[in-house]
Structure 1
Amino acid sequence: MDETRTQVYLQLIETLLTCPKGEEPQILQANLELLDSGFLQVCEIVAENLAEEGQENHANFLRNFASQIGQLLGTNDDGERDHCEIENSQEYENFILELLQAEPSSSNIKVIYSILRKRQHLLNANFAEILQEVAENLIAKHPEAIELILRDSGNLSIHISNFPGGKRTNNIEIAITGYQIVLNNREPGSEKFAQTQNNLAAAYTHRIKGSRADNLERAIGFFQAALTVLTREDFPEQWAATQHNLANAYTHRIKGSRADNLERAIEFYEAALTVYTFADFREKWAMTQNNLGNAYRNRINGSRADNLERAIGFFQATLTVYNLEDFPADWAITQNNLGNAYSDRIKGSRADNLERAIGFFEGALTVRTFEEFPEQWADTQNNLAMTYSDRIKGSRADNLERAIGFFEGALTVRT
């Protein structure tokens, strides 16, 4: 299908979905030349994407609409459907082959992203299914090039997983399919086998489809499988990275005891720090310090007061690396974390702790602007609102007015 015509189809679909009720016939009359089997294909793809986003009403409208157009065109018989499916499959296959061919020469990620943007409406369940067929066919026809095919399939999966366009849900599912293809063809126990386990684990950590609890269990399983190969002795940096990833997974884990999960997370972060030292891996050391701070801030076991002091200590250590000049975004995250810790702090003066918290939140906002980081800006606005609600110093009436202002500010983003 011609890419330019596909874009025109998409524009027509958008017009139909957003026009006032009753204007559809006039719009169709003005675009009769676009009503063909290709238009019906794109309608079905868009309807599928809308359904996956939870927009069932729009999806059903589009499917019913396409069905009516199909009847008018006389294309709803089985023969025509088979033809459309073959044509549609060929478009997906050509798209996938173009991406795989671009992988080895695309030292710049922009090359892959440019190809993906042109046909991002094809990044859906069909893409994942045909990706598997294409990869298996290539491996069967060119067994001598299996290493290159697996490399390119793995890289493509990473790029699609990180691709900012399309539907995030679909992109992750495609990446999982790609990683699974690679894993099925890797030698068990090899370093590359373990690396693919790590990639699958990361994908399941961020997966949107399915049960969040089950996805995290899958992720933990893949990380633990990777560690059977990536030992501290043979692959210290990769071992530390996997320890850190396991800690993150246990931090968010739903199954099991929340208290026990946080203890496991702390153990994994501390293990990572045996490799991620300040001297050798300064940025990764700072990242792990920050995550340990969050784990201690949320910790259930032990003294709440002592846990918060530990958290503050980890956040302050983080700032020895994450300075405003070199790491503004990370610095702002840590400022926000310190604000939360001081808001909860038990030791010291409650009034002084809240003033410290306000100072840290305000510091974070020098980077977390509405224009650059709207979601994070809204988070910090909300944190400031809650802190002003509890504030002891100053006028109670003025503090509550400030709190209301910050809550209302957060709602300009949190719609």
Structure 2
Amino acid sequence: MTRWLGSAYDWIDERAAIRNLLRKGLYEAVPVRGSWFYTLGSATLILIILQLVTGIFLTLLYVPSVKEAWESLNYVKQHDTFGSIVRGIHLWSAYILLFVIGLHMVRTFFSGSYKRPRELNWVTGVILFVLVLGMAITGAFLPWDQAAYWTAVVVTNIPSYTPLIGSFVRALWRGGDAVGPITLVRTFGIHIWLLPVILFPLIGVHLALLRKHGEFGSYVNYRGAYRTRQGVDVPPAPPQRRIEPPYPAAPSEELWAAPLEAEDFYPHQTFKDGVVSAALVLLVFALAVAIGAPLEAAADPSTTSYTPVPEWFYLPLDQLLVLVPRELIPLVLVLPAGGVLLLLALPFIDRGPERNPFERPAVMIPGVFAVLFMLILTLLGSGRLFNL
């Protein structure tokens, strides 16, 4: 049996070069300094896979109609313990996924990893964040309880503030003037088909770009000498060269343009990736069991007493809407789109070679201000809504 499996493996390897792929993937040099921060990318991938697996399972239980959506989930909550835990895992892994991606982007921004030659890594990462956020938003509609219905009313109205095409987009999403059965069906289709069809190929592109350029884009990893494949130290490059791409401009099998303090991806970085990913998965499971996924009363469009509470990732925008004058509300509602466009353009605006955060004040000061502003709005919104 073992001999047969070995022969089969050799046959596949001859055609697919599996050994070579594993060797390149497992034994490439990765930086020692800051390597724990590189676990955020692998943790993101693990959480996305967890979303996929639990999402597939939930589609076997969920009925996307206004009459049966809530009933199908209420049945799971009342009579299916395993299904209820899976739904909790799906919800909490989505929440933690958004948080981890946010941290990953902040780390990339502060370290200058979006600079040449990693502009496309950053662009695809921003798009991936928007897609994951879109899946979280559309997923919030699907329980069709009171919170889901009124979230749908508010969120589907936001496109109407877009000049020229706003009203058309709102009507297209809603399936008419008001939120109703077609809204739920279309949102379900967006959630399980449209967004994933874009998301998963883009993940492949993002990983391929990462494999091409390596994980050496942070300023801290340029502070050291280089080494050859044989382990012979090479003097550090002149200061003006430390900000160049980590790999040689011309292909070379002799030189690893890696920091002196480098280690093999396996087992060193894989261990760190495994520790962080396992800790997050355990946290998700604990939250799913201890808290689960809430389900309020079934949607009632006629009620006038219900006060919707936004999801936590809406809090900065929700709090800003409370603070600004009514006349500025349309401007506030299009701010997220402007922010995304600015993030996409960042590598092409900040084209200077400096990666040290203290040498990039024109970018770092607005970036720090934006992060603090978002945190303050989140805290203010939490205090207002939850009496913290």
TM-score if structure 1 supplies the norm length?
A: 0.20
Structure label with greater radius of gyration: 1
TM-score if structure 2 supplies the norm length?
A: 0.21
RCO higher in structure (CA 8 A, sep ≥6): 2
Report which of the two has the higher share of helix. Answer: 1
